[in-house]
A and B are shown apart, each in its own frame.
Chain A
Amino acid sequence: MIWETTPMSPDAVSGLAGAWPAGRVRRALLRKRSRFGDGAYSALRWAGAGLFGAVVLGLLVGIGSDSSAAFAHSGVGFIWSGTWNPAAGQYGAGILVLDTLLTTAVAMVLMVPIGLGTAVFLSELAPRWLAGPLSTLIGLLAAIPSIVVGLWGLLVLTPIFANQVEPFLASVPALGWLFRGEAYGPSILLASVVLAVMTLPTMVSLSRSAFGGVPLADREAALALGATRWQVVRRAVFPAARAGVSAAVTLAVGRALGESIAVAMVIGNRPAIPESLTTPGATLGSAIVNQFAEASPGIGTSSVIALGAVLLILTVLVNAGGQALLRSGSGSQAHTAGALR
């Protein structure tokens, strides 16, 4: 009964609170309270968390078990084997994986410089009255449903690409070989452009919050040394925000890999090894969209679900990496990812 014989002065109490981290105080309080039960509330909380945990496990188990027939049929080679020919009973995700990676890579080449420039403009250059409304606009772009972007790509961009953009690109001297072949319109390039539009808001908001985490003093110190704005950004802001920007790119990649409906509308859906960027292709997502309805029950459906399993593994790896980067960047930035989606 120490606390009875030596009553604590207010100073001692506040000293204690200062010495104990807030989390420890909270946990100590919790332990005390939980002895008295509060049963119904505790049970509800556990139920909510348990339900969510069950959904996560169910997702993994459900996709895993329904795709097992396909993996039993085609072996692990399903992931890299090139043929997708349901009529001949041949199922392989190889070409689809290749096209998925290719569209994502081209989309990133197009999107990252624009996204980074936009983020720099919003966080370093623009006056506040301009930066606010512009970021709201970019945020609204994130809210536009992918089907609307797909419709725009299909009905507006496709003719422009077939008649103007692709013939023009094919005629560029040094790069023409990248765009050779018939200009159909629907193509890997068009899919990449649509993906670039869709991943831009992710990139901009996450990079912006990474730049926001760089202390103002770093910028002021660089300015005081006579640095121009460009030098401030390059020497002070970029190095400090590197983890955050990498996380932004990684999460944008994750989003691009998994986007299916908009890609299915503009890529032309031809699972063959691409001859150039202007030829049609098929990604994992677009193949699932197109093959699902016509898949024969049993092995056909299971193979389509197995495409989903491959895509799931790919995106989970990329997103886990992105989240880890985000956490290493800064504690507070980890939250922006959740708020963003």
Chain B
Amino acid sequence: MSAILAPSRRELVRTAARRSLRRRHVMGRVFQGLCVVAMVAAVAPLVALVYYTVTRGVSTLSWAFLTHAPTPPFIPGGGISTAITGTAEIVGLAIVLAIPTSLLAALFLFERSGKLAAALRFSADVLTGVPSIIIGIFAYAVLVLPLHQFSTLAAAFALAVLMLPIMIRADEEAMRTIALDLWEAGIALGARRGRVARSVVLRGALPDLVTGNLLAIARAAGETAPLLFTLATPLAAMTLLIYTDGTQAFPSAQRTAWATALVLLSFVLLLSVAARLVAWRISRRAH
């Protein structure tokens, strides 16, 4: 009996194995295809976004557009100079507020390990995820309401609060790339800790610090929600101008919004690319 059954049984197993192998290969193919589709779907919006911003914005863009002050609605010849300088002022002031604070706080986290440091680190991580609109409300509550006026300072404060946790964590990460031995060697040489921080930690981590801070600045420069609560006029920042002009039904206002979006996008992407170039140069030098 078994002598008769054995070959057919072996045949059965063989076909089953072959079928399973084929099925596995088909599944594998399907899966790879789906991943490629997902990749295309992920990149498509990026391409579409940039394409529309460039094609709809570039025709309005001119030297006069960048350097002339805005005109009242329906009067041609206006530009966005106040928005560009406004954004520059706000972001510049925010940088002045945020970079020293974040560097010192990061040094604190770098040199200390304990409950307090852990709590601060966790707050920074959670604050990074707090919506920017809430930070705008915060700035409104502490600077606009008590002083009874909207101001560049309040806007800069909001952006600084927004950047602070991102910068702190990026700075600390950058400092952690410095070998501990170097820090210990500095201390062992008898240098004061401030001296070691300056000559070893900050100097060694400088390129990474630059990358992290540039990315944080790029993010803050593109924020709209915090400015909504802190600036009196939409003409005082590019992002607000895009919001108010873009939500109007007039084609001329929409054209201004697209062109401003193009300027903002170029600026932010430039910062972001610069940050990546710095990071890339470091990683190439390290190898």
Contact = CB atoms under 8 A, between A and B. Distances in A.
Given A136-B276, A230-B31, 7 more contacts: A62-B142, A143-B215, A147-B239, A260-B133, A316-B130, A335-B173, A341-B166
Interface in B125-140: 125-135, 137-138
A94 to B, nearest CB: 19
Interface size bracket, B side = 35 or more
Interface stretch (A5-13, A33-41, A270-278): A33-41
Contact of A47 (B32, B104, B134, B239): B104
Interface string A321-337: 01100000000001101
Contact of A341 (B53, B106, B193, B219): B219
Nearest to A57: B123
28 contacts: A38-B194, A41-B197, A49-B120, A51-B105, A52-B168, A118-B38, A125-B36, A143-B219, A143-B268, A143-B271, A144-B269, A147-B224, A147-B242, A148-B53, A151-B258, A152-B53, A229-B31, A230-B31, A258-B131, A260-B133, A261-B243, A285-B131, A308-B134, A312-B130, A312-B134, A337-B128, A338-B128, A338-B170
B75 interface: no
Given A22-B180, A114-B41, A125-B32, A148 B169 contact: no
Interface string A40-65: 11101111110111011011001101
B205 interface: no
A230 B32 contact: yes
Interface in B163-213: 164-166, 168-170, 172-173, 176, 180, 183-184, 187-188, 192-194, 197, 212
A96 B265 CA distance: 31
Interface in B7-48: 24-25, 27-28, 30-32, 34-39, 41-43, 45-46, 48
Contacts of A305: 137, 141
Contacts of B60: none
Interface string A215-239: 0000000000000111101000000
Contacts of B254: 155
Contact of B113 (A27, A49, A139, A311): A27
B169 A339 contact: yes
B219 A147 contact: no
Interface size bracket, A side = 35 or more
Contacts of B222: 143-148
A292 interface: yes
Contact of B164 (A55, A125, A143): A55
B122 interface: yes
